[in-house]
Amino acid sequence: MSTFNQSRQNFIRLLFLLAFLVLLVRLFFLQLTSKQYDILALDNAVSKNVIFPDRGIIFDRKGRSILENTLTYDLMINPTQLKGIDTAGLCKILNIDREEFRERVVAAILRNGRYRPSVFESSLPIELFVQLQENIFRFDPGFFLQERPIRSYPYKAAAHILGYVGEVDSNILKKTNYYYQIGDYMGLSGLERFYENILMGQRGVRYLLKDNKNRIVGPYEKGTFDSVAIAGRNLTTYIDIDVQVLAERLLKNKLGAIVAIEPQTGGIIAMASGPTYDPNLLAGSLRRSNFSSMLRDTARPLFNRAIKGQYPPGSTIKPMGALIALDEGVITPEYGISCNGAYFGCRRPIRCTHETPGHASNLRLALANSCNSYFSHIYRLAVDNPRLDGTTNGYLKWKNYMNSFGMGVRLGVDLPSEDRGLIADTSFYNRLYNRYWNSCTNVFLGIGQGEMQATPLQMANMMCIIANKGYYYTPHFVSSIEEETSRDTILHPYQVKHQVTSIPGSIYDIVQLGMQDVIESGTGRVARIEGIAVAGKTGTAENYGIIQGRREKLKDHSWFVCFAPRENPKIAVAVIVENAGFGATWAGPMAGLIMEKYLKDTLSVERWKEVERIESQEIILPIVKYKRNRLDSLRRSKND
Amino acid sequence: MVLLYMVLVIMGIASIFATTYRDEAVIKGFLSLNTDYSRQLIYFILCLVIGSVILLTDSKFFTATANLFYGFGIVLLLLVFPFHTDVKGTESIIRFSGFQLQPAELCKLFANLALAKYLSIPDMNFKKLRAQVIAAAIVLFPALMAIMQSETGLALVYFSFFLVMYREGMPSAILLIAFSLALLAVLTLLINKDVLAVLLTVVAALSINELKLQIKRNRRLLYTIIVIWIVAVGFQRFAVPYIFSNVLKPYQVQRIYATVGKDMEVDESTMSEEDIKKMEDRKKASTYNVKQSKIAIGSGGFLGKGLMKGTQTRYDFVPEQRTDFIFCTIGEGFGFMGSIVFLGLYLFLLLRIITMAERQRSLFSRAYAYGVASVLFFHIFINIGMTIGIVPVIGIPLPFMSYGGTSLVTFTAMLFILIRLDADRQMILR
């Protein structure tokens, strides 16, 4: 019987062999042919930890740091290790009740899971931090303190220039081809954004092993693949933080902008936009809520009016008109007209503020008296230049001049999102007037009204051109990068000299003297500085706004542009205060204070009183305040 | 043989060590008895003692007491019902004074002995149906108990004894039918049931057409084909769905579907939302194990990452990896080469046991040896198969490797009894 089924042993052997063969084949495919499991395993077990280097520091022209790094502390929670912790004690220190404590624990678990630590209270105020640090042992290991570097602005100034950092959003992720990762911080505006690559430094990566609960258990492969973080490089700027702070004080309670540039280099000494804000508000943990409340403010504090505000330049454009006419050769400095209170060259008379005969009998006088008739006339002379064959060509030539002066184009300042202002193209007039237009149609351009808008930065740059007698360097903030190498090309555009006219220096002298007369004896006497020759020009720009659906004429913008000292210009300034009336009333004195502070480095007691007088004056259109108040009360009623 | 056994057990301890070792001092860890690997070491030492005792016992003892042991095993199994403690969803474990015992595991040994004893009754005629039924009953009774204790995996192991019966003269038709039904069940899962029915019909029609001449001569062939066709279609249309919805538990069905890579077909409209959610959770859990295990083994590559260096097995990504998924450690740590060597060891062990079986003069010894081989084979194939995703997840341990006292003791006892019997093979026929 036992030998009967002998052959069956071989079948059983075969069965075993086959089964093992199946296993082997499967293993072969699993282990040798598919790479995906390797990747999945790495995904499972290795987390790429990016180490952020310290961002670079930004210094002003005197080497004072105006944007640096500081540490803030977060109270962190380990949700799994809360047993036996003095909860009541912690609640007392944090001044919260048990109910809120429970809610926050639940929120932390929901946010980050049970096994990973999450933030319980972020950016602790210093008193709270000290108190917690003394007591933290009582809450160990459920709670611990963790430091976190944030950006700090020691002068609480230059918010619009320096910008802020924030978490990258999905747009940036895509645009940078996923160089950044979710949760990364990067410069989002201002110099932080423009010089992101330099300030950021080089990120380091640490590969860490994690377990099935996503807890870190140690370095991966003993750190062989890790790379070290390289700190960001520092930037030195042309900013004089004292002047900057002063400019911001002057613009307090006003809408407007101040730009001060060093003409020889194009370096920006100060750039203020009013209203401004404390940049530290956008650095801490309250960034989001602060940001959104500022975003809702109808006075638009986040809006950098110095490079994005677009205003009709008014009379401040007149020196430019003179330069164009001179360069074109249609007038000489001796050229004069007789004006008795209005310009009648076109159908509608253009009013002039002066009626005394002879106030425009030469260029210098016309500039000093800001004669509307004179500059309307020379605008038409330039555009109707017989050598240029027709108004269209004449206007195009004029536009080219303006563009080369930096008007109507982006200057290329080292800040993101600069606006270009407006110098209308011929096509605009062709469309508007069905091709029938001449120099009279847009004669207002000669006095800086009409289809013309300029940013305060452009106006300050225009002053540089006159101060430099025919050239400018693109305005910029950064003078040098720490450890600059030949690969850093970001500053190269700012080393190019832009020669814009071919007028000899002697004729520039006449324009400059005319502007000096404005200060000494003309409309700009408010900007006089003891012992320094200032050249300037006031501007009072008509403007319109839409209020409750109707286009209404608003109070004039107050402009002032100037440079000093005239013989050897060190600073060129442009000031605009929105809806503040005559250029001499507000913008002029502010420009004077800025120049004096920069050139003399101090202000006398009386001058400080003047600063306080200006600072305390509120100039905001009722409509802006009305809207702001209404928003506030809306929000309040919503919260109630 | 003993050497092979030692190698496997030590590999097992090393693997458990690799997966559960944290940063404690190694020697202290082994001595502390708190760690899994130290406990496994203790079990190993215990097993060596048991093994020695078995080797010193007279081989007649086992033949004499086989039925007694079987009875004892049944009693233990019955004792489980009133005295079990719930551990991870099974109801098959008795615990006394910190020691756990799983009778269904131990009973494999007893059933094996009893089956061998029954088959070796001198005037046995295994061709008789009555003998076959009794043999099947010996094996299936403990399996039934195991099923009642929610240990379907262990119950399935008992089916491996049919291999022994096959060797001892069970008609191959039974095995053939079983295989066919299994194949049909798998096909039912893979192919749409209507398509499959049509397919079966076509096969039946073709075979009738093919065998026309024979059928003319022999009418019965036609009836056979028709009966087979009816049974097959009936099986795939009614029996399989019935088993799935009424016999198996939902989580088991899900595991089976997970293996073939399909979703469970359920009528969601009849379920409450809570049930649907539970089902989703279960689905995730049932695929998670296998997915992680495949990742671990797949990432091992050709040569592996080295013991203790596997990122997946070291940090608990694979659930249950000390016990049922211990093969992951081998797969990840030593890669394809290591797995080949490892499988080779097992295969060598199995073939060696069969060779031993065939040189036995006594029917008892031979049947017993086949029993050991069958049970080991079943365990190994199912266990490794499930870690690499070709067999549904059935919670049975890998012999000699998995963490767990009862299973180690059982397999050790099985193997050492075999060695003992083999040593006495020259003695007279029993």
Segment A288-307, tens digit of pLDDT: 788 888 888 888 889 999 99
The CATH number covering residue A127 comes to 3.90.1310.10
At residue A118, φ and ψ (nearest 5 deg) are: -135, 170
Q: Quick one: A96 and A143 in the same domain?
A: yes
Distance from CA of B2 to the nearest CA of A (A): 21
> Is A31–B298 a contact, with Cβ atoms under 8 angstroms apart?
yes
Chain A residues in contact with B332 by the CB 8 A cut-off are 41
- Whether A343 is covered by a domain: the verdict is yes
> Is A12–B302 a contact, with Cβ atoms under 8 angstroms apart?
no
Q: Does A433 touch chain B (CB under 8 A)?
A: no
Q: Quick one: A205 and A261 in the same domain?
A: no
Q: Which domain holds residue B260?
A: 2-190+249-423
Q: State residue A618's pLDDT score.
A: 87
The CATH number covering residue A470 comes to 3.40.710.10
Q: Which among A4, A37, A210 is the nearest to B298, CB-wise? A: A37
Retrieve residue B141's tokens. 């009774």
> Is B351–A13 a contact, with Cβ atoms under 8 angstroms apart?
yes
Chain A residues in contact with B296 by the CB 8 A cut-off are 41
- Whether B8 is covered by a domain: the verdict is yes
- Whether B243 is covered by a domain: the verdict is no
- Whether A8 is covered by a domain: the verdict is no
Q: Quick one: A203 and A67 in the same domain?
A: yes
Segment A232-268, tens digit of pLDDT: 899 999 999 999 999 999 999 899 999 999 999 999 9
In one-letter notation, the amino acid at residue A116 is: R
- Whether A533 is covered by a domain: the verdict is yes
Q: Which among A2, A28, A45 is the nearest to B317, CB-wise? A: A45
> Is A12–B370 a contact, with Cβ atoms under 8 angstroms apart?
yes
Q: Quick one: A162 and A283 in the same domain?
A: no
Number of H helices, E strands in chain A: 22, 22
At residue A553, φ and ψ (nearest 5 deg) are: -75, 125
Q: Are A390 and A370 in contact (CB under 8 A)?
A: no
Q: How far is CA B390 from CA A25, A27, A30, A36, B313, in A?
A: 11, 10, 11, 18, 20
**Three-state secondary structure call for residue A411:** coil
Q: State residue A64's pLDDT score.
A: 93
Q: How many contacts, defined by CB atoms under 8 Å, are there between A and B?
A: 122
**Three-state secondary structure call for residue A537:** strand
Chain B residues in contact with A20 by the CB 8 A cut-off are 343, 346-347, 381
Percent of chain A residues past pLDDT 90, beyond the cut: 33
Q: A280 — alpha (psi -120 to 50), left (phi > 0) or beta? A: alpha
- Spatial distance between the Cα atoms of B10 and B330, rounded to a whole number of angstroms: 13
- Whether A319 is covered by a domain: the verdict is yes
- Whether A15 is covered by a domain: the verdict is no
Q: Quick one: A110 and A258 in the same domain?
A: no
- Spatial distance between the Cα atoms of A598 and A269, rounded to a whole number of angstroms: 9
> Is A5–B167 a contact, with Cβ atoms under 8 angstroms apart?
yes
Q: Which among B316, B336, B351 is the nearest to A32, CB-wise? A: B336
Q: State residue B430's pLDDT score.
A: 47
Retrieve residue A124's tokens. 């602790």
The strand pairing partners of A535, in sequence order, are A563
Segment A516-570, tens digit of pLDDT: 999 998 888 888 898 899 999 999 888 888 777 788 888 899 999 999 899 999 9
Question: Which residues are CB-neighbours of A19 under 8 A, at least 6 positions away?
Answer: B377, B381
Mean pLDDT for chain B overall: 77
Q: Which residue has the tokens 């050492």?
A: B416
- pTM (2 d.p.): 0.62
Distance from CA of A228 to the nearest CA of B (A): 24
- Spatial distance between the Cα atoms of B277 and B266, rounded to a whole number of angstroms: 13
Q: Quick one: A516 and A565 in the same domain?
A: yes
Q: Quick one: A300 and A358 in the same domain?
A: yes
Where does a domain end: A205, A237, A269? A237
- Whether B219 is covered by a domain: the verdict is no
Q: State residue B204's pLDDT score.
A: 82
Q: Does A42 touch chain B (CB under 8 A)?
A: yes
Radius of gyration over alpha carbons of chain B, in Å? 24
Closest-CA residue in chain A for B327? A27
Q: Quick one: A271 and A209 in the same domain?
A: no
Q: Quick one: A342 and A431 in the same domain?
A: yes
Where does a domain end: A237, A263, A281? A237
Q: State residue B176's pLDDT score.
A: 79
In sequence order, what DSSP letters do the residues of B8-72 get, joined into one string?
Answer: HHHHHHHHHHHHH--SS-HHHHHHHS-SHHHHHHHHHHHHHHHHHHHHHS-HHHHHHHHHHHHHH
Q: Could you count the other beta carbons within 10 Å of the beta carbon of residue B72? A: 15
Q: State residue B187's pLDDT score.
A: 75
Chain A residues in contact with B168 by the CB 8 A cut-off are 5
Q: Quick one: A100 and A164 in the same domain?
A: yes
Segment A568-594, tens digit of pLDDT: 999 999 999 999 888 888 999 999 999
- Whether A32 is covered by a domain: the verdict is no
Closest-CA residue in chain A for B334? A31
Residue range B19-26: average pLDDT? Answer: 60
> Is A209–B311 a contact, with Cβ atoms under 8 angstroms apart?
yes
CA angle A204, A209, A210 (to 5 degrees): 120
- Whether A279 is covered by a domain: the verdict is yes
Chain A residues in contact with B124 by the CB 8 A cut-off are 1
> Is B169–A4 a contact, with Cβ atoms under 8 angstroms apart?
yes
Provide the number of structural domains found in chain B. 1
Helices (H), A137-274: 159-162, 170-175, 190-194, 196-200, 241-250
Closest-CA residue in chain B for A29? B298
Chain B residues in contact with A9 by the CB 8 A cut-off are 167, 354, 357-358
Q: Are B164 and B370 in contact (CB under 8 A)?
A: yes
Chain A residues in contact with B302 by the CB 8 A cut-off are 31-32
Chain B residues in contact with A37 by the CB 8 A cut-off are 294-295, 297-299
Provide the number of structural domains found in chain A. 2
The strand pairing partners of A147, in sequence order, are A73
- Whether B24 is covered by a domain: the verdict is yes
- Spatial distance between the Cα atoms of B407 and B379, rounded to a whole number of angstroms: 11
> Is B390–A36 a contact, with Cβ atoms under 8 angstroms apart?
no
Distance from CA of B176 to the nearest CA of A (A): 13
**Three-state secondary structure call for residue A422:** strand
Q: Does A21 touch chain B (CB under 8 A)?
A: no
Closest-CA residue in chain B for A14? B351
Retrieve residue A291's tokens. 């940001």
> Is A44–B295 a contact, with Cβ atoms under 8 angstroms apart?
yes
> Is A12–B315 a contact, with Cβ atoms under 8 angstroms apart?
no
Q: Are A423 and A403 in contact (CB under 8 A)?
A: yes
Q: Which domain holds residue A325?
A: 241-623
Q: Does A1 touch chain B (CB under 8 A)?
A: yes
- Pick from A335-344, A393-402, B129-138, B232-241: least confident: B232-241
Q: Are A260 and A624 in contact (CB under 8 A)?
A: no
- Spatial distance between the Cα atoms of A514 and A520, rounded to a whole number of angstroms: 10
Segment B334-347, tens digit of pLDDT: 888 888 888 898 89
Q: Quick one: A145 and A187 in the same domain?
A: yes
- Report which secondary-structure segment, H or E, holds B155: helix B152-158
Q: Quick one: A210 and A313 in the same domain?
A: no
Q: Are A37 and B295 in contact (CB under 8 A)?
A: yes
Q: How many residues does this entry show for chain B?
A: 430
Q: State residue B129's pLDDT score.
A: 79
- Spatial distance between the Cα atoms of A250 and A271, rounded to a whole number of angstroms: 12
At residue A44, φ and ψ (nearest 5 deg) are: -60, -45
- Spatial distance between the Cα atoms of B331 and B333, rounded to a whole number of angstroms: 6
| pLDDT interval class at A375 (50, 70, 90) | very high
Q: Are A467 and A572 in contact (CB under 8 A)?
A: yes
Q: Which among B167, B317, B336 is the nearest to A8, CB-wise? A: B167
Helices (H), B57-128: 59-83, 103-119
DSSP label of A71:
E
Retrieve residue A399's tokens. 């536009």
- Whether A132 is covered by a domain: the verdict is yes
Where does a domain end: A206, A222, A237? A237
